Chains A and B, each alone.
Chain A
Amino acid sequence: MSMATITMTRRTSDAVNTADVRRARRKQNLTGWLFISPIVVGVVAFQFFPILVSIAASLTDWNGISAPKFVGLKNFSEMFTDDPLFLQTFKNTVYFTLASIPLTIGIGLVLALLCARPIRGVAFFRTAYFAPYVTNVVAIGFVWFWFFQPDNGVINGLLSQLGINGPQWLSSSSWAMPAVIMVSVWQGIGYPMIILLAGLQGLPNEFYESAKIDGAAAWQRLRFITLPLLTPHFLFLLITQFISSFQVFGLIYVMTKGGPGHATSVYIYNIYQNAFSYGKVGYASAMAWILFVVIAAVTFLQWKLQKRWVFYT
């Protein structure tokens, strides 16, 4: 847009030119900010103040009810020296995130590619893959609990037909997390699938036409055209899935309550319990800000690295 404006004004004299450019630029700025004004107003009106309060709260001893007491950085130092759950839940969350994101996006991509083909009955399959994503988490927890029963559950039944003696799953300290990851991948796949499906529909045809003329095989087209064109959507998925997988605990909670031991306790649930079960709202705010710093750093890195692999037309 700016390019166009500038080429059009180039013909006139220099003095007018600078003034025009400045005016045009001011207009551009105004237009841009007008377009984003609703969301800016929203964030300022509904989030800034509460966020400021929570920053302040992280420096206090506060239970949400009586007056907060300023304690400086005590909450932060306590986390690293005095709270065995801080590190453990943090590690669990990293484990959960690193395992579930590639699986969700990877399988989501496969399903999106399968569902993008115009074959008979594709609408049914698409809906089937999406269905778990829309189902109530409590119901899902219950259903899978029953599937994971060690003695007469469906999973171990299938395994025993393959001659494998299945583990205790949800009550085993080493298998509970894989089980939880499996269910959350199963449940969450609808999201990347739909995003990628939408991305696939938006791809311009020209590339494929010329590739076909060049005689590129199907997988080559996938590798050299489809996947590169989808990279903006992959970036979106990586960043948003990373942010949200650090904040999800509903499904985990209904399946294991964080157990056995603290094998599946996640960081966000720890924050939640500190704030609302133990009444340590100040401490919980401090934990939330540590989380913020970590995710923000990773997000920033992803953003900076996008130049290396994200392809915009």
Chain B
Amino acid sequence: MQTQLSNLSRRRFLAGLTGLTAAGVLAGCGGNGNAGGGGGKSLTFLNWEQVKGNPLEQAIQAFEKESGTKVTVQPAVTQEYDTKMRTLIAGGSPPDVMRINDDFVRGFSQQGALLDLKPYIDKDKLDTSQFAKETFDFPQQPDGSHTAWVLGYQPRLIFYNVDLFKQAGVPLPPTTWTDEGWTWSDFEEKAKKLTDPAKKQYGALVYLDTGYEQTFTVNHGSQTGIFSKDGTQFTLSDPKESEALQWATDLTCKDKVQPPWSALQQDNIQNQMFAQGKIAMMFATFGTVPYLRQTVKDFTWDVAPPPGEVEQKTESSVIVFCVPKKAKNPDAAWDLLKYLASEEGGKILLQGGAFTPINLKAAAELAPNGKAPAHIGLFAEAAKHLTATNQTKNTIGARELYRPALDNAYNCEKPVADVLQGVKSQVENALKG
């Protein structure tokens, strides 16, 4: 069987064996024809989930057309992305633009792996007032460098099943950002009415989403949420914060209106359950919308702000890309990032309904366009009500200590305050980096 593919491989093999020659280098990097582009600009792009069939693909195509740059999108898989990213950067020839976990931005910046985009911003005299400010500033480092690029953000809201509300005769949540009739106790009341043990139907799901810790503690009156401002203390274990998490846990352990922890131990299981009509209200990110749009066929669903108490804020995740310092085409990479954050690019990305584009003008056009959820505009509105987890030197390491500990509260074996007190010193030790 002689196919073109195996011929190609054999040539690469020989080239690889001679190794040290330029041919070897060329063969090694010559992935998808970007070596033979005939002088045209090109760049490689890596996301952590499929780009195909996603507005990101359209936006990239629009960019290619406008700039004449060829963008090679590398196959993307969510599994093992962290491993791949560190290995590619360590290997010294990473893609020109790559998705980065927001928790990694600070660490990778300190290790000098990411290109500072500040000079590009200055050189192009980019008007940064066109962007959502807090989100835009997210990748700004203490030394003033700007080491990553935010394309958009995914605020968290309450997703609810309109049909279940109507069946139970429960008034719907508010459609604007208000806590009138939408406090924690209102939420709890509704959840109780919406629960039907016979049908395995639960009124609420709050404690699974990773942004709930910050959101609910701050709304309960916490000044800092999970970590102190300077990122050295673990404030989640303080009384007020523990109380907030206990409230969410009690929805399961006392009120029995929330799916038990054991029923939630698979990726994205909550979306499945919501799509099946097993959950009436769910705290989840904007990123959930595409799945629900595709899957939910037989009921109406919508979104509402999180219930308020002392505050009514919400946390959002950011969609961050970076240009590795060793990228071969940093200029082209910058052009692409700039385009994706522009009004034009933002309007294309908007179509996916997966995140709010960072460009304010584009974000303003967030509208249902005949698709659920009817109040999708709340995801743009959320920009005015954001809270963010304070950054630390080792957020992931800290999280890997306190989140598993919370399992023992969520499965109703221990009170929240106890487990958090129990790990406090370990977590703060980890925060030292």
Q: Do chains A and B touch in the complex (CB under 8 A)?
A: yes
Nearest CB in chain A to that of B259: its residue: A151
Nearest CB in chain A to that of B261: its residue: A171
> B21 in the interface, Cβ–Cβ < 8 Å?
no
Considering the chains assembled together, what is the distance between the CA atoms of A152 and B426 in angstroms? Answer: 37
Provide the residues of chain B in CB contact with A145, threshold 8 Å.
Answer: 265-266, 269
Considering the chains assembled together, what is the distance between the CA atoms of A82 and B430 in angstroms? Answer: 10
- The contact of B404 among A141, A152, A260, by CB within 8 Å, is A260
Nearest CB in chain B to that of A253: its residue: B79
Provide the residues of chain A in CB contact with B389, threshold 8 Å.
Answer: none
Given the contacts A261-B407, A261-B408, A151 and B200 also touching, CB distance less than 8 Å: yes
Q: Establish whether residues B262 and A171, one from each chain, have CB atoms under 8 Å apart when the complex forms.
A: yes
Provide the residues of chain B in CB contact with A46, threshold 8 Å.
Answer: none
Provide the residues of chain B in CB contact with A260, threshold 8 Å.
Answer: 261, 404, 407-408, 410-411
Nearest CB in chain A to that of B269: its residue: A145
- The contact of B394 among A141, A275, A278, by CB within 8 Å, is A278
Provide the residues of chain A in CB contact with B401, threshold 8 Å.
Answer: 84-85
Given the contacts A173-B413, A276-B83, A278-B396, A65 and B265 also touching, CB distance less than 8 Å: no
Nearest CB in chain B to that of A149: its residue: B263
> A169 in the interface, Cβ–Cβ < 8 Å?
yes
Q: Establish whether residues B404 and A259, one from each chain, have CB atoms under 8 Å apart when the complex forms.
A: yes
Provide the residues of chain A in CB contact with B400, threshold 8 Å.
Answer: 273, 277
Provide the residues of chain A in CB contact with B396, threshold 8 Å.
Answer: 277-278
Provide the residues of chain A in CB contact with B397, threshold 8 Å.
Answer: 277-278
Considering the chains assembled together, what is the distance between the CA atoms of A277 and B80 in angstroms? Answer: 10
Contact with A along B97-121 (1 / 0, CB 8 A): 0000000000110011100000000
Considering the chains assembled together, what is the distance between the CA atoms of A259 and B408 in angstroms? Answer: 9
Considering the chains assembled together, what is the distance between the CA atoms of A168 and B397 in angstroms? Answer: 28
Contact with B along A246-262 (1 / 0, CB 8 A): 00000000011111111
> A184 in the interface, Cβ–Cβ < 8 Å?
no
Nearest CB in chain B to that of A66: its residue: B111
Q: Establish whether residues B407 and A149, one from each chain, have CB atoms under 8 Å apart when the complex forms.
A: no
- The contact of A141 among B83, B86, B266, by CB within 8 Å, is B266
- The contact of A168 among B86, B260, B429, by CB within 8 Å, is B260
Provide the residues of chain A in CB contact with B262, threshold 8 Å.
Answer: 148-150, 168-172
What is the CB-to-nearest-CB distance from B18 to chain A, in angstroms, rounded to a whole number?
A: 16
Provide the residues of chain A in CB contact with B35, threshold 8 Å.
Answer: none
Considering the chains assembled together, what is the distance between the CA atoms of A149 and B86 in angstroms? Answer: 36
What is the CB-to-nearest-CB distance from A175 to chain B, in angstroms, rounded to a whole number?
A: 10
Nearest CB in chain A to that of B81: its residue: A276
> A63 in the interface, Cβ–Cβ < 8 Å?
yes
Interface size on B, residues (CB 8 A): 33
Provide the residues of chain B in CB contact with A152, threshold 8 Å.
Answer: 200
Provide the residues of chain B in CB contact with A261, threshold 8 Å.
Answer: 404-405, 407-408
Contact with A along B79-95 (1 / 0, CB 8 A): 00011001101100000
List which A73-103 residues lie within 8 A (CB) of chain B: 82, 84-85
Q: Establish whether residues A170 and B265, one from each chain, have CB atoms under 8 Å apart when the complex forms.
A: yes
B contact patch SS: helix
- The contact of B260 among A150, A255, A276, by CB within 8 Å, is A150
Q: Establish whether residues B112 and A171, one from each chain, have CB atoms under 8 Å apart when the complex forms.
A: no
Given the contacts A65-B90, A171-B407, A256 and B265 also touching, CB distance less than 8 Å: yes
> A265 in the interface, Cβ–Cβ < 8 Å?
yes
Considering the chains assembled together, what is the distance between the CA atoms of A65 and B266 in angstroms? Answer: 33
Contact with A along B392-426 (1 / 0, CB 8 A): 00101100110011011011010000000000001
Provide the residues of chain A in CB contact with B269, threshold 8 Å.
Answer: 145
Interface size on A, residues (CB 8 A): 37
Considering the chains assembled together, what is the distance between the CA atoms of A258 and B401 in angstroms? Answer: 11
Considering the chains assembled together, what is the distance between the CA atoms of A63 and B26 in angstroms? Answer: 28
> A64 in the interface, Cβ–Cβ < 8 Å?
yes
Q: Establish whether residues B407 and A279, one from each chain, have CB atoms under 8 Å apart when the complex forms.
A: no
Considering the chains assembled together, what is the distance between the CA atoms of A275 and B411 in angstroms? Answer: 30
List which B344-394 residues lie within 8 A (CB) of chain A: 394
Q: Establish whether residues A171 and B260, one from each chain, have CB atoms under 8 Å apart when the complex forms.
A: yes
Considering the chains assembled together, what is the distance between the CA atoms of A66 and B108 in angstroms? Answer: 10
Q: Establish whether residues A171 and B200, one from each chain, have CB atoms under 8 Å apart when the complex forms.
A: no
What is the CB-to-nearest-CB distance from A272 to chain B, in angstroms, rounded to a whole number?
A: 8
Provide the residues of chain B in CB contact with A151, threshold 8 Å.
Answer: 200, 260, 263
Provide the residues of chain B in CB contact with A273, threshold 8 Å.
Answer: 400
Contact with B along A143-172 (1 / 0, CB 8 A): 001001111100000000000000011111
Provide the residues of chain A in CB contact with B429, threshold 8 Å.
Answer: 82
Q: Establish whether residues B408 and A173, one from each chain, have CB atoms under 8 Å apart when the complex forms.
A: yes
> A142 in the interface, Cβ–Cβ < 8 Å?
yes
What is the CB-to-nearest-CB distance from B231 to chain A, in angstroms, rounded to a whole number?
A: 15
Considering the chains assembled together, what is the distance between the CA atoms of A228 and B126 in angstroms? Answer: 79
Provide the residues of chain B in CB contact with A168, threshold 8 Å.
Answer: 260, 262, 411
Q: Establish whether residues A257 and B265, one from each chain, have CB atoms under 8 Å apart when the complex forms.
A: yes
Considering the chains assembled together, what is the distance between the CA atoms of A37 and B165 in angstroms? Answer: 72
Q: Establish whether residues A279 and B107, one from each chain, have CB atoms under 8 Å apart when the complex forms.
A: yes
Q: Establish whether residues B111 and A171, one from each chain, have CB atoms under 8 Å apart when the complex forms.
A: no
Given the contacts A151-B200, A168-B260, A170-B262, A63 and B111 also touching, CB distance less than 8 Å: yes
Provide the residues of chain B in CB contact with A141, threshold 8 Å.
Answer: 266
Provide the residues of chain A in CB contact with B200, threshold 8 Å.
Answer: 151-152
Provide the residues of chain B in CB contact with A66, threshold 8 Å.
Answer: 111-113
Given the contacts A150-B262, A259-B404, A261-B405, A65 and B108 also touching, CB distance less than 8 Å: yes
Considering the chains assembled together, what is the distance between the CA atoms of A82 and B397 in angstroms? Answer: 14
Contact with B along A163-205 (1 / 0, CB 8 A): 0000011111100000000000000000000000000000000
Q: Establish whether residues B260 and A258, one from each chain, have CB atoms under 8 Å apart when the complex forms.
A: no
Considering the chains assembled together, what is the distance between the CA atoms of A50 and B396 in angstroms? Answer: 27
Q: Besides A171-B411, A277-B400, 6 other CB < 8 A contacts?
A: A84-B401, A148-B262, A260-B407, A273-B400, A276-B83, A278-B397
- 15 of the cross-chain contacts (CB-CB < 8 Å) are A65-B89, A65-B113, A84-B401, A85-B401, A171-B261, A171-B262, A171-B411, A255-B265, A259-B265, A260-B261, A260-B408, A276-B82, A277-B82, A278-B396, A279-B86
Q: Closest 5 A-B residue pairs measured CB to CB?
A: A260-B407, A171-B262, A64-B90, A276-B83, A171-B411
Residues of A within 8 A of B (CB): 63-66, 82, 84-85, 141-142, 145, 148-152, 168-173, 255-262, 265, 272-273, 275-279
